[in-house]
Each structure stands twice: as C-alpha cells, then as structure tokens.
Structure 1
Amino acid sequence: MVSQMVFARPGRRPRLAALAAAAVLVLTPALASCSDDEGEGRSEEMNTSAPAATADEPDDPAAAKAEITKNWTAFFDPKTPTADRVKLLEDGERMQAVLGAFAGDKNAAMTSAKVTGVTFDSATEAGVTYDLLVGGSPALPGAQGTSVLQNDTWKVSVKTLCGLVELSGATVPGC
C-alpha cells in the first residue's frame, strides 16, 4: 500500500519510493513480536488521521508545540537511544521490546521525521502533521499522527506507531 502511494505520485524517483516502502516495512518484523495484554478495546485508536481541532488547548500552546516538535524529532531520530525513545512513546514501557528491535535495523537508521504542523484537539491531545524522511528526503510527506500528554510529557501516540505498521499491510497484535 505504501509503495502504491509513493509510486502514484508523479515525479517521484523509484529509488526513493523503494526506500520509503522499506522504512515503513521495517516496522513489521519488530512489531510482530509485540503483544498487548491490555489491547482489548483499542481498535478505535488505530485511526491515524488527525481529528479536527477544537477550542481546547494546553495552558501554554506555544510551549506545548515546541515540546511536541522536539519530542517527535527525537523519537524518530535514529541516533536516539532506545531508553530515550521509551520515554517519548505513549505507554513506552509496554512497547520497549519493539523499540529495541529498531535500534539495530539499517533501514530505520535512514528514517527520520520532520514535524510540519501541530493542532490541539484538547489540552491533552494534538494532531501532528509530519514528513517521514528517508535519507533526508520526504518519503511520506504530510503524514498525520497524534501526540498525547502523558505524565506531563508530550509523547508520540501508540496509534501513530500502529498506523505506520498498518500502512505496511501487517496485522500486529497490540495495534
């Protein structure tokens, strides 16, 4: 599905499309080993599109946007240690084994994200627009994700991570 989306864009280079597909597909094997003991009823969290913004915002929206941007950039930075990624992902402790599997993957080492927009849906949830980059070039521009405020930290949501896995066509327990 990802390769169809990337190949369907006029002017895209086939090599970039292949790298983009590989970057998303790299999530599949690592997450296939993930189980979710608390996964009952999580299906509504699988929607990766950002909901429409409401009037509700955090007390300091500018500071929240800055933290979201910083944390997303760090989470998707291949140089960020797994221990730090755990702290930047919603329910990161539960997903720790999955994040560890990414650490040594050569395709993941070329993938990063650039936040291009943040809209608040409530004081504790934000829609995030970002470009998934492979080797510094946009492979999945304008992607939509969600950030959640958990334990006073704005984190990448599990539904965002699971949404990327869905794009690969995989069915993964816990997502």
Structure 2
Amino acid sequence: MVLERLGGRPRLAALAAAALLALAPAVAGCSDDSTSGSQVSETPPPGMTALPPGEDEPADAAAAEAEITKNWTAFFDPKVPAAEKVKLLENGEAMQPVLAAFAGDRNAAMTSAKVTGVEFTSATEANVTYDLLVGGAPALPDSQGTTILQDDTWKVSVKTLCGLVELSGVTVPGC
C-alpha cells in the first residue's frame, strides 16, 4: 500500500515503512489503555465534516493555525529533543517513553512533516493535512491527522500518532 502511494519509489517506501515501524515497539510498551481501537480513524465519520469558517473555531483562528503549524513541524522535527516533543503531544507525559525511543532511532532521524492545511472542527480541535517526509522527500503526501487544544497548547493528537503506528501494520494495545 505504501509503495503504491509513493508512485513506485521502493527505496522511499522502505524508508517510510522503517520509520513507522521504529515507533511500534515503543508504543506497545506504553500505550494508553483508555483509548479503544475504534478511536484510531483519522477520517471523520460519514456525514461529519468541518464546520464553515467562523463557526466553532478559536477566537483567533489565524493565530491558532500558525501555532498548529509551528507545533506540528517541531513535533516531527528530528532535531527537536524528546523532552520538548512531550509538550507538543496530547497526553505527552504518558507517551514520553515512545518519544524517547523514537528520538534514538536513525530512521526517525530522517522523518519530518510539513503542514499543508488546517481545518477547524471546533474551538479546541482541528483536522491537519500534512506531508510526512523522509530525508526531505514526501513519503506519505496529503496525510490526515488531528490536533487538539490541551493545556492552552495546540498538540498533535495521540490518535494521529497511533494512526501512523497502525500504518506500519503492527497492532498496538491502546491504539
């Protein structure tokens, strides 16, 4: 599946798969048992779409979008220390062991993300479209994730992280 999305670029597909697989063992060891598998989907249920602009979005949507873009870029930046990423992930303290393992993986060190769109679904949540990059080249373009406002900070949702792990083909309890 990943190879098809990458237009037949097997090396890039292998790197993307390796980067995603690197997360799976660490996530398995420290997952949140309160999250059920039915909550992993990154696409809204049928009939649910983002609200029209101006309805149920943050008071300063432009500032929120800028913060989301900044935080997502930092979260997926291999140069940002795991201790900083904890602050950018929903329930980051509970997911700290995952981030520490991710930071030490050489494949993860080549993975980054570029936000290409933000669509608010409420004043505290938004859908994020992003390109997952490996070595600067798009490995998973037009990926979909979610962000949540938690503790006055726009954070990458655990659902998004679990969705990436799910793409690796590994079943992770709590995701």
TM-score (norm 1): 0.91
The match for 2:134 is 134
| Alpha-carbon shift at residue 169 of structure 1 (Å) | 1.3
Q: Is residue 2:37 matched to residue 1:43? A: yes
Select the residue among 9, 15, 23 that pairs with 1:13.
9
The match for 2:149 is 149
CA RMSD between the two structures:
1.5
Select the residue among 49, 54, 61 that pairs with 1:52.
49
Relative to structure 1, is the Cα distance of residues 124 and 12 closer, same or farther in structure 2, using a 3 angstrom cutoff?
same
Aligned residues: 169
Distance 2:35 2:84 in 1: 28
Relative to structure 1, is the Cα distance of residues 117 and 15 closer, same or farther in structure 2, using a 3 angstrom cutoff?
same
Which shifted more, 50-59 or 16-25? 50-59
| Alpha-carbon shift at residue 30 of structure 1 (Å) | 1.4
SS at match of 1:173: coil
The match for 1:124 is 124
The match for 2:30 is 34
Relative to structure 1, is the Cα distance of residues 106 and 150 closer, same or farther in structure 2, using a 3 angstrom cutoff?
same
What do residues 55-101 of structure 1 show as CA deviations (whole Å, max 9, x unaligned)?
Answer: 31000000000000000000000011111000000000000111111
Structure 1 runs (4+) deviating above 2 angstroms are 9-12, 39-45
SS at match of 2:159: helix
Distance 1:106 1:10 in 2: 21
CA contact (8 A) 1:131 1:140 kept: yes
TM-score (norm 2): 0.91
| Alpha-carbon shift at residue 10 of structure 1 (Å) | 7.1
